[in-house]
């Protein structure tokens, strides 16, 4: 395997938690679509009453989190292009569209079915049959999963390329100039020897020449 393929495989492994998380959050959009197709104009009322009373807040929070994640990714891609003054030429390998679509759709469908079953059990209402849940779940989740997969595939490749460009730019930036070296005189002699030399020097300077030298 080449270095690019290895890096692409590692990147794909590290991106799976984000893919699963975004798929779970995106299932609420599929839930909205499924109820709109099933109940028509009454969908909003059904999704905000009884056991579904929590759904409007959950849907707004989930869609807001997905939107914030997408905006953050786009901002990083834009920042990398501004810093490098060119689009990234490196393409990061990732999973195929069909493989990613299968994962996203499966997660979204599982979230939809689990949500519907949990709501029915909490409300004490009969649970819809499995074919019924699969039908409405597929009608609502598959279009959303198809669009989400396209967005994820496009964003993931460019996001990783942008991260690599920013890292390369930070690695190649010039280092800060070294501080001016300060010349600090240091005494090499030990402290005791230095003290003795100073005392001896002072005493010799006070003493006059020897007596024999004065007589001459």
Q: Which domain holds residue 109?
A: 3-172
The answer as to whether 53 is a domain residue is yes
Prediction pTM value: 0.64
Can you read off the two tokens belonging to residue 74?
């786009």
The answer as to whether 188 is a domain residue is no
Using alpha carbons, list the distances in angstroms from residue 61 to 26, 45, 141. Answer: 11, 19, 18
Percent of the chain with pLDDT over 70: 62
Count how many Cα atoms sit within 13 Å of the Cα of residue 151 in the half-sphere of its side chain.
18
**Residue 186 has what pLDDT?**
53
The answer as to whether 160 is a domain residue is yes
pLDDT tens column, 24-75: 999 999 999 999 998 988 988 888 888 788 888 888 898 888 888 888 877 8
Report the number of distinct structural domains present in the chain: 1
- For residue 146, name the pLDDT band (cuts at 50, 70, 90): very high
The answer as to whether 185 is a domain residue is no
Are residues 83 and 161 in contact, defined by beta-carbon separation less than 8 angstroms? Answer: no
pLDDT tens column, 154-187: 887 776 766 666 776 677 755 555 554 444 555 4
The answer as to whether 203 is a domain residue is no
The answer as to whether 182 is a domain residue is no
Are residues 62 and 23 in contact, defined by beta-carbon separation less than 8 angstroms? Answer: no
pLDDT, averaged across the chain? 75
The answer as to whether 194 is a domain residue is no
| CA 9-11-15 angle, 5° bins | 120
Are residues 115 and 31 in contact, defined by beta-carbon separation less than 8 angstroms? Answer: yes
The answer as to whether 209 is a domain residue is no
Residue 162, number of CB atoms within 10 A of its CB: 26
pLDDT tens column, 64-116: 888 888 888 778 777 777 777 655 545 555 668 898 999 999 999 999 999 99
Q: CA 110, CA 126: separation in Å to the nearest integer?
A: 19
Are residues 165 and 88 in contact, defined by beta-carbon separation less than 8 angstroms? Answer: yes
């Amino acid at each position: 395997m080449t270095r690019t393929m290895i890096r692409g495989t590692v990147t794909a492994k590290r991106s799976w938690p984000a893919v699963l998380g975004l798929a779970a959050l995106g299932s609420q959009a599929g839930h909205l679509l499924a109820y709109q197709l099933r109940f028509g104009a009454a969908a909003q009322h059904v999704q905000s009453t009884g056991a579904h009373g929590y759904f409007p807040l959950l849907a707004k929070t989930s869609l807001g989190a997905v939107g914030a994640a997408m905006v953050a990714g786009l901002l990083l891609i834009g920042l990398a292009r501004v810093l490098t003054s060119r689009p990234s030429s490196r393409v990061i390998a990732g999973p195929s569209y069909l493989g990613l679509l299968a994962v996203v759709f499966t997660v979204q469908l599982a979230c939809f079915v689990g949500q519907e079953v949990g709501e029915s059990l909490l409300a004490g209402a009969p649970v819809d049959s499995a074919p019924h849940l699969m039908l409405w779940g597929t009608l609502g989740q598959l279009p959303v999963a198809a669009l989400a997969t396209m967005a994820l595939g496009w964003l993931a490749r460019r996001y990783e390329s942008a991260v690599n460009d920013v890292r390369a730019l930070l690695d190649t930036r010039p280092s800060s100039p070294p501080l001016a070296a300060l010349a600090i005189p240091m005494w090499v002699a030990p402290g005791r020897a230095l003290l003795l030399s100073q005392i001896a020097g002072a005493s010799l300077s006070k003493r006059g020449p020897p007596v024999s030298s004065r007589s001459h």
